[in-house]
Chain A
């Protein structure tokens, strides 16, 4: 119920602040039981208004009725897309210039509006995007508690954690897990087994904190400082000098210079929690530059995330391959909460292959 109220509140903020009148009226007309599953609103010039509800696309009519038939849907005009774009930029395109070049604008509440149009280049650099043709408003959902079981495996002692690398292919929830880990590292655990640590987040793509006018829209914990929109290699050096963190959190390693910056943090005794795109630890090791961080004196814990038969799985390992645990969690539930189940399994590879079977076997251990 609380989730429902929050979603409706979120939607009301979004509607009143950004959407042009006809689109606002249509979205407001969507029945309450569908609103909770609303993940995206897709607005395209000259095309019907579309919503993504729990992974499924539906056209939305002027009155807010959902249908697979585009004939009854509300058709969006180019003027409405332009007006929406200006509202998303708070009538100040220059203030969102950097975001626009990156292809999205972060909105109040941590939501995000992806944009498409005609790209203008200056040399090799994107200078602007003009003639905006599509806007995709994506609802952000922070899944608090989704990394709880992982976190317990990353605690060195009550005041320290292991340097940890989270690996997965795209779309498996690296950033969601990282965000929740950050919250717990900063906040500590209620049972006192871990005290919170000063944490700095280098949020290069504004995905972790989803800062809006400098204020993080996601809960990253009470001891967290966020350096928003800054390159990881520069940001790590900046926070080391200025903020004296115990832990630095970065998303998606891979750029030139990332490895050197992380080495610098390790030399200063600061722990690193990072993510990277990779299908396996071996895959990561082969990466030019950042691969060196997989050496013996590099990351101490590796968290692998994946999907199997529509179910998410998580493995926590040491760099030499010994397994700490295998966790299996259901994919996103309609109520936005991920249900996490924890296992100790000697034969993890088998467990990952037979995830569906594992869930059936262990959900009711009795």
Chain B
């Protein structure tokens, strides 16, 4: 359990990094969304998010759909492989809904808002890891000790 909490925090932290990369590609370089998603998907540092972003870019290109739809399709297909819980998905499900639908200045605000949401999730995940994680670890140690005592 404590491992899963740590993985969740790492996944959210990684998504914040990806968002910074996406911001640079959108607001700095003006790369079209499907290309930006593919670029992120092809970068090794994107880790467990690679598949999702590749899927998203591909869906936008092949099926001529917007980023919001493509994101929903991608997380439906590959979301299970990520160590996130229900509350995370509730926040993340609308990610992409406003992407690509306005000029650079507006996109900057959209991405800043997404980043704030993610930072909030990541903070909660870190707190959960520090409190519940410690609890689960102690419980594990105590259960182990109890089992040893019983066996003796």
Residues of A that sit less than 8 Å from B by CB = 17, 86-87, 89-95, 97, 127-128
Contact = CB atoms under 8 A, between A and B. Distances in A.
Given A87-B64, A97-B30, A92 B104 contact: no
B66 interface: yes
A97 B30 CA distance: 9
Interface residues of B, number: 19
Given A94-B27, A95-B33, 10 more contacts: A86-B100, A90-B34, A91-B33, A91-B100, A92-B26, A92-B32, A93-B101, A94-B30, A94-B102, A95-B32
A91 B104 contact: no
B26 A94 contact: yes
22 contacts: A17-B64, A86-B100, A86-B101, A89-B100, A90-B33, A91-B34, A91-B65, A91-B67, A92-B26, A92-B32, A92-B34, A93-B102, A93-B103, A94-B100, A94-B104, A94-B106, A95-B26, A95-B30, A95-B32, A97-B30, A97-B103, A97-B104
A177 B104 CA distance: 37
Contact of A92 (B33, B64, B65, B106): B33
Nearest to A16: B64
Contacts of A87: 64
Contacts of A93: 100-103
A201 B60 CA distance: 33
Nearest to B29: A95
A78 B106 CA distance: 23
Contacts of A95: 26, 30-33
Given A94-B26, A97-B104, A86 B66 contact: yes
B95 to A, nearest CB: 15
A86 to B, nearest CB: 7
Contacts of A17: 64
Which of A89, A92, A93 is the most central at the interface, judged by chain B CB atoms within 10 Å of its CB? Answer: A92
Contacts of A97: 30, 103-104
Contact of B103 (A86, A90, A91, A128): A128
Contacts of A91: 32-34, 60, 64-67, 100
Which of B60, B64, B106, B107 is the most central at the interface, judged by chain A CB atoms within 10 Å of its CB? Answer: B64
A43 B40 CA distance: 35
Interface of B: 26-27, 30-34, 60, 64-67, 100-104, 106-107
Which of B65, B100, B104 is the most central at the interface, judged by chain A CB atoms within 10 Å of its CB? Answer: B100
A128 B65 CA distance: 23
A83 to B, nearest CB: 9
A128 B105 CA distance: 11
Contacts of B33: 90-92, 95
B73 to A, nearest CB: 14
Contacts of A128: 103
A89 B104 CA distance: 13
Contacts of B103: 93-94, 97, 127-128
B38 to A, nearest CB: 12
B150 to A, nearest CB: 62
B31 to A, nearest CB: 7
Contacts of A89: 100
A89 B107 CA distance: 15
A90 B30 contact: no
A91 B68 CA distance: 10
Nearest to B69: A91
In order of increasing CB-CB distance, the 7 nearest A-B pairs are: A92-B32, A92-B100, A90-B32, A92-B33, A94-B104, A95-B32, A91-B100
Nearest to A101: B103
A91 B66 CA distance: 6
B67 A94 contact: no
Nearest to B107: A94
A127 B107 CA distance: 15
A130 to B, nearest CB: 10
A95 B66 CA distance: 14
Contacts of B67: 91
A93 B107 CA distance: 10
Nearest to B33: A92
